[in-house]
Structure 1
Amino acid sequence: MKIEKFVELSFGENIYILTDEETNKCAIIDPGGAEIKIQNYLKTNKLEVEYIILTHSHGDHIGCVKSLKSKTNAKVVAHIDEKELLLDNKKNLSYMMQCGPQEFDADIYVKDKDKLKLGNLKLTFLHTPGHTKGCMCVRVLNEMFTGDTLFAGSIGRTDFYSGDFKQIEKSLKKLSKYEDNITIYPGHGPHSTLGVEKSSNPYMGK
């Protein structure tokens, strides 16, 4: 398994490419920008894009989805509760971002604890509402993509449409039950581990 990270400079959003090195199948997680870098990486490494996975649907995380899908024919994956935002550029805030208004439907809508295979890897989706009502984290082995639910030392905002601070508190309690040695890859900022966040992130102890 390999994880490559790109950063969309306008909002500092992290884009990840998760690859099963045994099959060269990959998933692009939250492609909000950096499309040329992503395309070059895919071409150089001769990767087959099976999924475009969205931890949530804010414009800074979905800006390149339609373009990448048209070039790769990958299936777009999102949580079922995020459909409303995906289909409304005002609610997903893309209308006010550099990417411009973005509206589209996912190909696969998942629910809590649903699973997908990526080559020989098993992906598990964890519903973690709060930043948006359809926010989710994606676990594979001892790695977890936490989107804007959990950052290193902080959490995502809850004052946008469908955000809810009480919900994100519940989501953080849910994440706190997982193993300390899980590495988290957030939607913004550096990676961390659940153990570090449990011991030092002020929101994880609430």
Structure 2
Amino acid sequence: MSHGRLTVALGAGAPGFDAAVLGGEELSPGNRFARFVEFRDLLDRLLSEPMTDWSGDWYSAVDARMIPGPAQRPRPPFLIAADGPRGMRLAASTACRPGDGWVTMGTRERGLDEDAWWKDVARTADRMDETVGRDWQQVRMLNMESGTASLTSVEHLRDRLGQAAELGFTDVTLAWPRKDQPFRGDEALLEAIAAELPTLRQIGG
């Protein structure tokens, strides 16, 4: 469907809703991380091989078929969502193929203004630099979907992209604008952004 443009973003899930929504038990941070590591390993296998057997602490698979499999070989890129050092190290260890990397959306705290959000993103970027080094040459993606409703113009986005580049981010993602929250926005602005993509992609080198 994506003609080989799929990127898979993976996260361990947060306490509370992420467990309750599927009727699961609330896991400790350690168990949630252990489950995530196994999930990453199993998904890597599933997307890389036509047939998979797996018996782990959290998951199992018997003759699991992935036919015809993804267009990208051996698998689509993985982006590991992480805000803490342990998850950031996992992102670094996962990033072994072009397009692999790390993604963050900054703070989960609601109601922050744009300046406060950027300060939190800066702290997260600094944490990543301290954990894996600023010279780590893989994708560093900033999920800016939480700011969709406050995006006012192409120039406003250009400014945001400049801030992201200064913090070491190589890529950003935006939410498709909707009529209502949480991603309220104007699709006409998206069309204007699309028209400026060649110049916007040059920001940050």
Q: What is the TM-score of this pair, normalised by structure 2?
A: 0.31
Give the helix-richer structure, 1 or 2: 2
> Whose radius of gyration is greater, 1 or 2?
2
Larger relative strand fraction: 1
